[in-house]
């Protein structure tokens, strides 16, 4: 099996579900549900960070990257998560340059939550439709006026660019990526295995302009 190589980026104070959600989706995909225990996922998923030192998430979890920016293998899909750490990484020129370089090489580029701000800082949202966490929508539009910020969408598919709303929305976006690669039947079976509703609609699930 020629497995798709999925790199999920990590950085200090990354949001846990932003990267764990997509990791779970891509790792539990099976092309044949009857052979779930016998065959691997068609995706090979790994974690990438600036160094191989343990990364502390926003909740304090320590995560060990598989690769650093220098030894990361070729990717088919790059996932850029968000979290409080994006505020710092938006000024990390080395990381932004790496994201931009990889974006030109992958089949699909994706972001979860405020990971979209890193894509914007890397110059990857010009003229593109995209979304982010509801709390950061206005900030995203202010930072990147040449991007089309979709405030009412849970996830956005813009050609080879996938972006999602906050945190748990990365699961939905990842299921849509599975559907893009291997069809809706496989994606729906993956969602069922996870006991998670398949994203029928791209509409945002919370009211952006109403109090929490």
The stretches of the chain forming alpha helices (DSSP H) are 16-28, 86-89, 93-103, 115-121, 137-143, 169-182, 184-193
- Determine which one of 113, 124, 167, 171 is catalytic: 113
Q: Count of alpha carbons within 13 Å of 141, Cβ hemisphere only?
A: 8
Catalytic-residue membership of 113? yes
Ramachandran angles phi, psi of 130, nearest 5°: -160, 165
* Three-state SS at 189: helix
Residue 170: DSSP 8-state: H
Whether the CA torsion 159, 78, 16, 93 is positive or negative: it is negative
State the catalytic residues: 113
């Amino acid at each position: 099996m020629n497995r798709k190589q999925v790199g999920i980026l990590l950085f200090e104070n990354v949001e846990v579900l932003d990267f764990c959600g997509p990791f779970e989706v891509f790792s539990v995909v099976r092309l044949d549900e009857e052979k779930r225990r016998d065959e691997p996922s068609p995706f090979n998923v790994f974690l990438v960070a600036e160094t191989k030192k343990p990364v502390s998430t926003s909740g304090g979890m320590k995560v060990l990257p598989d690769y650093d920016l220098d030894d990361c293998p070729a990717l088919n899909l790059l996932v850029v998560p968000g979290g409080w750490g994006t505020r710092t990484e938006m000024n990390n020129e080395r990381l932004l340059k790496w994201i931009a370089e990889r974006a030109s090489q992958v089949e699909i580029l994706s972001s979860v939550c405020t990971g979209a701000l890193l894509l914007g800082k890397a110059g990857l949202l010009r003229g593109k439709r995209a979304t982010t966490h509801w709390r950061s929508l206005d900030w995203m539009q202010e930072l990147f006026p040449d991007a089309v910020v979709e405030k009412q969408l849970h996830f956005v598919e813009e050609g080879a660019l996938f972006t999602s709303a906050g945190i748990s929305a990365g699961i939905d976006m990842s299921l849509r990526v599975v559907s893009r690669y291997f069809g809706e039947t496989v994606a729906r079976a993956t969602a069922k295995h996870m006991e998670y509703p398949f994203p029928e609609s791209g509409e945002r699930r919370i009211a952006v302009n109403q109090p929490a």
